Structure 1
Amino acid sequence: MNRKTMVLPAVAGLLAPLLAACGAGEESRAIVVGTTDQFVATEEAPAPLDPAYAYDTGTWNILRQTVQTLVHVPRGGGAPVPEAAETCGFSDRASESYRCVLRPGLTFADGTPVTAEDVKYSIDRVRKIKADNGAAALLSTVDTVETKGDREVVFHLNAPDATFPYKLSTPVAGILSKDKYAADELREGFEVDGSGPYTLKAERDGDRATRFVFSRNPRYKGDITPRNEKVELRAYADAGAMGTALESKDIDMMARSLSQEQIRDLTETPKAGIRVSEVPGLEIRYLGFNTKAPSVEEKAVRQAMAAVVDRGALVNRVYGPTAEPLYSLIPSSITGHSTPFYEEYGEGDADRAAAILRKAGVKTPVRLTLNYTTDHYGAETAQEFATLKNQLIASELFDVQVKGTSWSEFRPAQKRGDYAVYGLGWFPDYPDPDNYVAPFLDSDNFLGTPYVNKTVRDHLIPRSRRQADRNAATPDYRQIQKIVAQDVPVLPLWQGKQYVAARDDISGVEYALNTSSDLLLWELGRGTA
C-alpha cells in the first residue's frame, strides 16, 4: 500500500483567511465540519471508501456526498424519490421487478457519460466481489440486472422485496465508472470518483485520512441542490478535541459524535455564538455473540446475561438523557417494535439468571471477556463496558474481563470470530424494521454470525418483505423479535438520540443529519437561510 501523505492541490486556496484576502465573500468560505469518525486504510482493510466494501456510517457519509444513487431518501424522510434516475418504480404487483430510467445528460465528474450499463456494472461488481464487510447483503434479493438502451435499467429480484427502493438509496448501490473501478477487486485508498453533488480530495497522514474537502461538482445533475460551494470534513481523535476546535472557530459544526458531557454543558450553559440542537435518531447499541465460542455457545449463558443486565441503570449512569433502554433489536420509533427481552427476563434479575444457569447445568462463575472498540462510538464506550462488567460480576454468576481495541483492529477480529462477546452499534441503512433484522439474522449478514434460525431466515424475513404496506408486516417482526429474545444471538442495550452543535452563522443544521445518521453536507449554508 502507498503510505505516503496525499497532498491537496493548492490546499492553501481552500483556507478561509486566504479566500478573504483574495476578496472572496463571507459566504464562499468552506464550511468546516468536525467528526470523531476515523478513516483508516490498513493492509487487512485497504479499501475503506469502495462502495463494495464500505459499511459503516463514517465511510458512507463520505460516499453520500460523492457517489450518486438512482434514488435517495428526501429531506424529512419518507419513501425514496428519484436522484440519478428520472423515474423509478416497481413494474409488477409482486414487488419483483424494479425499473428505473436515468436522467438525460447524466455524467461523472470527469465528463464521462453515465449509462444504464454503468448502473448494471456497479451492482454486479458489488455482488461479484462480495466483500466480507457485509455490504453486499443489501443486494441479496437481486437476481439479474437488465439494461435497455443507455438510460433504462431493470432489476429482476429473486423474491418479493418491498424494501428494495430503500436499499438502492444506500451507497452500496452507488453508480461507478468501470474506467475507475475494477470489476473484481476493491479500489484501495481514499479516492472516490462518482457523479454526486461534490468531488473529493483527501488529505492523509500515513494510513489515516485526516481531512476531506468536498467541492461542488459543476457537472452534477440530480435531485439535490447544494447550498454551499465547498465543505471540509475534519477527523478528530475525540469529542473533546473537536469541541475545542468549535469554540476556537477552527470548525463551524460538530455532529458525530458529541459526548454526554458536551451536550449537557452546551445545553445548560450555552456558549456565545454556539447552539446545540437535538435531531431525531435511530441508533442502537448491543452485545453480539459468537454462538460457536465455548464460553457462550450454551444458550443459557446468553439468556442469563440478558437477565442480569440492568439497562436502565446502565443508561442513567453512562448516557443520561441522551439514550433510553432498548428491549428489542427494533427501536421504539420504528414500526413493529416490541419489548420481548423485558417480558422474557425482566431487568437486572440475578435470581432469574441463576435459575436459568442452574437448569442448564452451567457451572458458575462463567468466565467472559467483553470486547469493545475504543475509537468508534464515542468517549463513553469504555465507561459503558466497565458498568456492564460490574453488573455481571455483582451477580456472582460471571467472572468478567473487558478489553478495548481500536476500530481498525476490532472490526476485522470480530468478523473473523475472534471475540465470544463484543459490543457494536447500528445506524440504520434505511428507516424500516427490515434493516434492524436482516443485517443480524439473514444470510451473509453484517455480523458474520454463525447463528442461524431457519424460521426467521427462510420464512419470516422473506414474508415480511412481500408487504408493500409495512404496517402489515408487524406480526412477522414481532415473531422475529420474540425468537431473538429466546435465543439471544444479540443482546440489545439502548437506543440513542442525536445532537449537533454549530456556530450560529451556519444554517441548515437541522437538516444536515437525518434519523439514520446520514450527514447531508449539501444542506449547510453560511448566514441566514
Structure 2
Amino acid sequence: MNRKILVLPAVAGLLVPALAACGGSDGAGGGGDAIVTGTTDRFIATKDAPAPVDPAYAYDVGSWNVLRQTVQTLMVQPRGEGEPVPEAAESCTFTDSGNERFVCKLRKDLKFSNGDAITAEDVKYSIDRALTLQADSGVFALLSTIDTIETSGDREVIFHLKTADATFPYKLSTPVAGIVNPDDYAKDKLRDGFDISGSGPYTIEPTIEDGEMVSAVFTRNPNYKGSLTVNNEKAEIRSFADADAMGAALEKGDIDVMTRSMTPEQIDKLSNSTDGSIELVEVQGLEIRYLAFDTDAPSVRDKAVRQAMAQLINRGSLVSEVYGTQAEPLYSLVPAAVTGHSNSFLNKYGDPDTAAAKALLTDADVTTPVKLTLNYTTDHYGAATKREFEVLQKQLNDSGLFDVSIKGTAWDTFIPAERNGEYEVYGMGWFPDFPDADNFLAPFLDKDNFLKSPYTNTRIRDTLIPDSRREPDRISATDALTEIQDIVAEDVPVIPLWQGKQYVAARDDITGTAYAVNASSTLQLWELNRGVGA
C-alpha cells in the first residue's frame, strides 16, 4: 500500500484557530533506547564560526533545531501552528494600544537544567547579551525593535519597543531570545563549542569529531517546566554525509526517522512504496529558495542585468526538471499560503521572454553576453542543489545574453565568503523564523539584514516595514507587504525561485511524526514516541 500521509497544519494568517500544545513534561513514555533522527545538516565549529550553537550567534535551521530542544524561550509556536503561546512565560501580552510595551510573567519555580533558579534578570541578561554582541550572523536583528528591557521582581519582564511590532511575540519564540545561564555565557563573548546550558525540554550530550558534532543525544530534562508535552525519555540527532547514507541507515533500522534533506528520488521511492515498514509524511512547508545579489558587484550592479535574469529564468521548468511535485514555482519572497503573498515577479515579468530580456540590457547599454558566476553550497540544501544550478546555468546561457559559470562550495566555507561579499550571485534557502510575511521580507531588506546585502531602499526600511508591523490583524498589513514585494520585483536584489514541501520518513513503530516538523521547519523531537500513541 502507499504509505504516504499528508499533514496540513494551519499556517498563521489563514484564520485557522490555533491548536495549543498540551502543557507539562510528564507525558514521556516508550522508554528504552533513544529515538534516532537522521539529518544531512552539519554542525561544525571553525575559526570563522567557533560558536555554532550559541543562541546569540546561531542562524541556520540545523543549529536552531538543536537549540529548540535545549534552550527555552518565553513564547513558542504551538504544534498546530497559529499564534505563539507562552512557554517559559506563564503569560505574555501587549499592555498598550500601540503594541510598544510587551510584558511577560515567568512561570513559578522555573529552573535551568542544572537546578539553578531562573529569574527575570536572567531573561533580560540573555536578550541584552544577543543585542550587545551583534554576531556577524545577523540573528540579533530579529530583536531590533527592542528599545529597553526592564524587570519587576523575579518574574516579570517588560519590553519597551522602539516602534509598534505586532510580530514581536513570534520573535520571542526564536532561539536568539532563548534564556541562557549567565554562569556559562559571558556577556561580552560567544560561547565556543557545542555545550548548551538552558531550561528546554532536553539536556544535550554531543559527540564531537575533529570540530564537528556528528551526533547529539537529548535526555529529558527533569527540571523542565513549560507548555510542551515530552513524549520520550531520550532522542538523538545523527548527522550524515549525504541523503543516500541517511536513507540506508533508515532501511537498516540504524535510525528511526529521517528529515532534511532527502533527495527527490528518495521521496518518490518512499511515496510509491508498498513496503509498510517505513512511513512517509508530507508536512506543509514554507521553505523557499532564491538567488541573491551583491548589488555593488560590477557584473550585476546595473539593475537591468538583474531584471534580465528575472525575465529569463523559467521556474516551472526548473522545478519540474529537478524537484518534480516536491516544489512549486515562487514569484515572491513571501510564499503562497502566507497572508500578504503577492506574485510580484510574475506580474512584472510574465512568462520567460528572451526578447524582453535583451531589450532590458540594450536599453541600459549593457554589453552582452554578461559574464558571471552563480555560487551555491554543496552540502546544506540537499543533493539536488547542483542539478538546480546546472539548469539555471543552461537557461541563462541558452539566451545568448549571459555567459554563466557555476561553482559549488561547502557550507562552512560558503557562509563566511558570502558574508564577506565574495560572491556576485549566490543561491540560498530560507526556513522562516516564524510563519509571517514580515519574516520573509525584513531579514532580507531591513537594516542589519542577515545577507549583509548592500541593497537599500529607504521606503521599505523607513515606512513600509514599520507600517506593516503596526497591524495586529495581518490581513490589514497586506497593502504595505504587497508594495514591498513589488519594489523587490522592480529592483531585484533577490530572485525568488521556488517553495518546497517537506517530508518526514519514519519506521512504522514511531508515533508523533505528523508533528515532528512544523511549517517553519522546526524539529520537535518531543513529539516522537516508540509504539505508544502520543
Structures share fold, TM-score greater than 0.5: yes
Q: Distance in 1 between matches of 2:52 and 2:250?
A: 27
1:470 to 466, 474, 477: 474
Is 1:506 the counterpart of 2:510 in the alignment?
Answer: yes
Q: Distance in 1 between matches of 2:222 and 2:124?
A: 25
2:338 to 334, 339, 347: 334
Secondary structure of the structure 2 residue equivalent to 1:404 = strand
1:87 to 91, 115, 120: 91
2:256 alignment partner AA: D
Q: Distance in 2 between matches of 1:95 and 1:360?
A: 45
Structure 1 residue 340: deviation in Å? 1.3
2:430 to 407, 426, 447: 426
Is 1:246 the counterpart of 2:232 in the alignment?
Answer: no
Q: Distance in 1 between matches of 2:341 and 2:124?
A: 35
Q: Distance in 2 between matches of 1:383 and 1:205?
A: 30
Q: Distance in 2 between matches of 1:62 and 1:253?
A: 16
2:486 to 477, 482, 491: 482
Go from structure 1 to structure 2 and tell me whether the alpha carbon gap of 1:262 and 1:270 turns closer, same or farther (over 3 Å shift). Answer: farther
2:169 alignment partner AA: P
Is 1:384 the counterpart of 2:388 in the alignment?
Answer: yes
Q: Taking structure 2 as the reference length, what is the TM-score of the superposition?
A: 0.94
- Over the matched positions of the two proteins, sequence identity in percent amounts to 61
Paired residues for 1:42-53 under 5 Å? 42-53=46-57
1:259 to 240, 252, 263: 263
8 Å CA contact retained: 1:311, 1:347: no
Instruction: Write out per-residue CA displacement over residues 385-430 of structure 1, whole angstroms, 9 at most, x where no aligned residue.
Output: 0000000000000001100000000011001110000000000000
Instruction: Write out per-residue CA displacement over residues 198-223 of structure 1, whole angstroms, 9 at most, x where no aligned residue.
Output: 00010011011100000000011111
Match of 1:494 in 2: 498
Is 1:109 the counterpart of 2:113 in the alignment?
Answer: yes
Instruction: Write out per-residue CA displacement over residues 410-465 of structure 1, whole angstroms, 9 at most, x where no aligned residue.
Output: 01100111000000000000000000000000000111000000000000000000
2:530 to 512, 526, 529: 526
Is 1:323 the counterpart of 2:338 in the alignment?
Answer: no
Go from structure 1 to structure 2 and tell me whether the alpha carbon gap of 1:52 and 1:348 turns closer, same or farther (over 3 Å shift). Answer: same
Secondary structure of the structure 2 residue equivalent to 1:40 = coil
Secondary structure of the structure 1 residue equivalent to 2:472 = coil
Instruction: Write out per-residue CA displacement over residues 299-344 of structure 1, whole angstroms, 9 at most, x where no aligned residue.
Output: 0000000001000000000000000000011001100111111121
Q: Distance in 1 between matches of 2:181 and 2:197?
A: 8
1:447 to 443, 446, 451: 451
More deviation in 341-350 or 403-412? 341-350
Q: Distance in 1 between matches of 2:353 and 2:287?
A: 26
8 Å CA contact retained: 2:37, 2:237: yes
Q: Distance in 2 between matches of 1:92 and 1:343?
A: 39
8 Å CA contact retained: 2:300, 2:424: yes
Structure 1 residue 269: deviation in Å? 2.2
Structure 1 residue 271: deviation in Å? 2.8
Paired residues for 1:322-401 under 5 Å? 322-401=326-405
Is 1:121 the counterpart of 2:132 in the alignment?
Answer: no
Structure 1 residue 26: deviation in Å? 6.6
Match of 2:168 in 1: 164
Match of 1:9 in 2: none
Secondary structure of the structure 2 residue equivalent to 1:202 = strand
Q: Distance in 2 between matches of 1:190 and 1:116?
A: 25
1:230 alignment partner AA: K
Q: Distance in 1 between matches of 2:220 and 2:273?
A: 36
Q: Distance in 2 between matches of 1:356 and 1:244?
A: 49
1:471 alignment partner AA: I
Match of 1:60 in 2: 64
8 Å CA contact retained: 1:28, 1:228: no
Q: Distance in 1 between matches of 2:31 and 2:158?
A: 42
Q: Distance in 1 between matches of 2:236 and 2:138?
A: 29
Q: Distance in 1 between matches of 2:262 and 2:532?
A: 25
Match of 2:235 in 1: 231
Structure 1 residue 186: deviation in Å? 0.4
Match of 1:215 in 2: 219
Is 1:185 the counterpart of 2:159 in the alignment?
Answer: no
Match of 1:30 in 2: 34
Q: Distance in 1 between matches of 2:351 and 2:324?
A: 18
Match of 2:272 in 1: 268
1:148 alignment partner AA: S
Q: Taking structure 1 as the reference length, what is the TM-score of the superposition?
A: 0.95
8 Å CA contact retained: 1:66, 1:199: yes
8 Å CA contact retained: 2:170, 2:434: yes
Q: Distance in 2 between matches of 1:271 and 1:286?
A: 36
Structure 1 residue 177: deviation in Å? 1.2
Structure 1 residue 298: deviation in Å? 0.4
Secondary structure of the structure 2 residue equivalent to 1:33 = strand
Q: Distance in 2 between matches of 1:507 and 1:528?
A: 7
Match of 1:296 in 2: 300
Structure 1 residue 27: deviation in Å? 3.6
Is 1:155 the counterpart of 2:155 in the alignment?
Answer: no
Runs of 4+ in 1 over 3 A off after TM superposition: none
8 Å CA contact retained: 1:304, 1:354: yes
Q: Distance in 1 between matches of 2:520 and 2:275?
A: 28
Q: Distance in 1 between matches of 2:193 and 2:314?
A: 42
Match of 1:10 in 2: none
Q: Distance in 2 between matches of 1:373 and 1:270?
A: 35
1:343 alignment partner AA: N
8 Å CA contact retained: 1:100, 1:153: yes
Q: Distance in 2 between matches of 1:26 and 1:94?
A: 47
Secondary structure of the structure 2 residue equivalent to 1:400 = strand
Is 1:194 the counterpart of 2:172 in the alignment?
Answer: no
